[in-house]
Amino acid sequence: MIAIGEYEQYDGLGLAELVRRKEVTALELVEAAIDRIETHNPTINAVVHTMYDIAHEQAEGGTGDGPFAGVPMLLKDLLAGCAGQPLRNGSRFFRDHVPERDSELVRRYRDAGLIVLGKTNTPELGITGVTEPVLFGPTNNPWDPSLTAGGSSGGSAAAVAARLVPIAHAGDGAGSIRIPAACCGLFGLKPTRGRTPGSTPYALWQDLVVEHALTRTVRDSAALLDATAGPSPGTATSPPPPKQPFLEHVGAPPGRLRIAVTEGSLLGRRIHPDCERAVAEAAQLLGELGHDVVPATLEHIQWQAFAEAFVVMLCGEIRAEIQQAEAKTGRKASFADFEVVTNALGLLGQQHSAGDFVLAMRTMQQVGRDIILYFEKHRIDALLTTTVASPPVKTGTVLPSGLQAIGLEWLARLRLGGIMRLAGVDRQAAADSFEFAPNTAPFNLTGQPAMSVPLAWTDDGLPIGLQFVGRFAAEATLFRLAAQLEEARPWAARRPRLS
């Protein structure tokens, strides 16, 4: 039996190497992971469904010779279907939803040798940047359980940070890989649009969503992307395939990159001094590593127009999600089936016309085009920003509360979507949506790869993530840069107080 202290030291590739050398068995790794989950999950509430019997069967039956053969992992309980297991999407409405087959991404995980132990917590429908669903309750940050783990992949992030598993599935439609990576001190890469197979047969959130994982090390992320990259069956378009495996870029010299830097917020929100300082220190480090560091000049981009258009798009998508769920189940959703924010956004989605939706999408497309042109015109290899606007905040402080929550609840209960729009609820939502994470969503729009790197820490030991955005389909550049930063400022050995 592998000792718990020893299990915690290894990343996914390290554990797989132990299995290959027959120094440990897959079953022993599964037992070590289960022990960690049973010990620490009551505190952090990251795992909301366990699959221990299935994991035991897979470990005993053989896991093949994939790059992660025998390594335990967890799936986010959103999007990624696992045959015969619930997929609740953080919602009471989906409490009894059980997919009949694995999604394509889950199938590729199994082919890589990964063993799924369970599902992780997520906000309802992945809407918010914090993980506080009514269905399962909030996920707590391993570094300080009174703080948020971020979202929407907060359960996955907390599980990896607490060393329950070295790898957990995640998805990102507006920052949902990068935000929890920043909150939990992890490496989180959002790949290029279309790089990995989507778990739905349609382009979710107007093709803003992409799935990958949260890891402690850069090399685990790269190797997993090698194992899962490639379009879904039936996909007409996808980014060009990499010229060599992503893992080969980890440790390779990145060359002299031209990196633009902004210490502030792209969407005009206030940035915490610790995060501003972290960006400045990262910029200094990049210069010391030989990169060409320049100030970002992004003032010409219509960020506020983007924020307002994004909310119109989101309202339409949530309305469609509710209608589609009703059609699939043959059951009309009641107010009690969904949370206050979901009900409010869905009602607002009914108030916007098809023309409103198309105009919003055209606004977003124009902003996306301007961002891409900025990278091209100024020959930018990467853009550096803070990932979130502050170190992780107290649980319960990001979502509507008090009179605001009561007002939203009654407007939604009475189906007064028109009054909500007249009252400017959608405009307020545009202002509030990006308060905590003002720099992530624009790069879901452009489809560019972006990563959060745990380069900085507050004086009291809380993680601060730095976001690096690369050119379209240039994950290789980001992996080379991330590995260089990982060597210069190692983070994987840092352990949260929970451990």
**pLDDT in the model for residue 422:** 46
Write down the catalytic residue from 91, 103, 119, 152: 152
Helices 12-20, 218-228: crossing angle, 10 deg rounding: 70
Same domain membership, residue 128 and residue 54: yes
Write down the catalytic residue from 103, 176, 221, 452: 176
What are the beta bridge partners of residue 220? none
pTM of full prediction above 0.85: yes
In a domain, 189, yes or no: yes
In a domain, 344, yes or no: yes
Same domain membership, residue 237 and residue 342: no
Same domain membership, residue 463 and residue 423: no
Same domain membership, residue 160 and residue 83: yes
Determine whether 119 is an active site residue: no
Contact in structure between 136 and 41 (CB atoms under 8 Å):
no
Structure tokens at 349: 């989605």
* Position 232 confidence tier, pLDDT thresholds 50, 70, 90: confident
Write down the catalytic residue from 76, 91, 153, 265: 76
Same domain membership, residue 326 and residue 244: no
Same domain membership, residue 135 and residue 23: yes
Alpha carbon distance 350, 360 (integer Å): 15
User: Does 268 have pLDDT greater than 90?
Assistant: no
* Position 423 confidence tier, pLDDT thresholds 50, 70, 90: very low
User: Does 489 have pLDDT greater than 80?
Assistant: yes
Percent of the chain beyond pLDDT 90?
A: 82
* Position 237 confidence tier, pLDDT thresholds 50, 70, 90: confident
Determine whether 199 is an active site residue: no
In a domain, 19, yes or no: yes
Alpha helices in 229-353, H assignment, sequence order: 273-288, 303-329, 340-351
* Position 479 confidence tier, pLDDT thresholds 50, 70, 90: very high
Alpha carbon distance 208, 76 (integer Å): 18
* Position 400 confidence tier, pLDDT thresholds 50, 70, 90: low
Contact in structure between 276 and 230 (CB atoms under 8 Å):
no
In a domain, 295, yes or no: no
In a domain, 496, yes or no: no
pLDDT in tens, 129-138: 999 999 999 9
Same domain membership, residue 367 and residue 245: no
In a domain, 493, yes or no: no
**pLDDT in the model for residue 3:** 72
Determine whether 103 is an active site residue: no
Same domain membership, residue 322 and residue 177: no
Same domain membership, residue 420 and residue 481: no
Alpha helices in 162-235, H assignment, sequence order: 178-184, 218-228
In a domain, 52, yes or no: yes
Number of other residues whose CB lies within 10 A of the CB of residue 101: 11
In a domain, 274, yes or no: no
Of 7-16, 60-69, 320-329, 408-417, the poorest mean pLDDT is in 408-417
Mean pLDDT of 75-99: 96
CATH of the domain at 13: 3.90.1300.10
Same domain membership, residue 149 and residue 246: yes
Find the domain containing 342 and state its range: 303-377+399-433
Same domain membership, residue 96 and residue 194: yes
Alpha carbon distance 398, 406 (integer Å): 15
Of 64-68, 106-110, 265-269, the poorest mean pLDDT is in 265-269
**What does the longest C-alpha to C-alpha distance in the chain come to?**
66
Nearest Cα residue to 406 out of 414, 429, 393: 414
Contact in structure between 65 and 114 (CB atoms under 8 Å):
no
Counted domains in the chain:
2
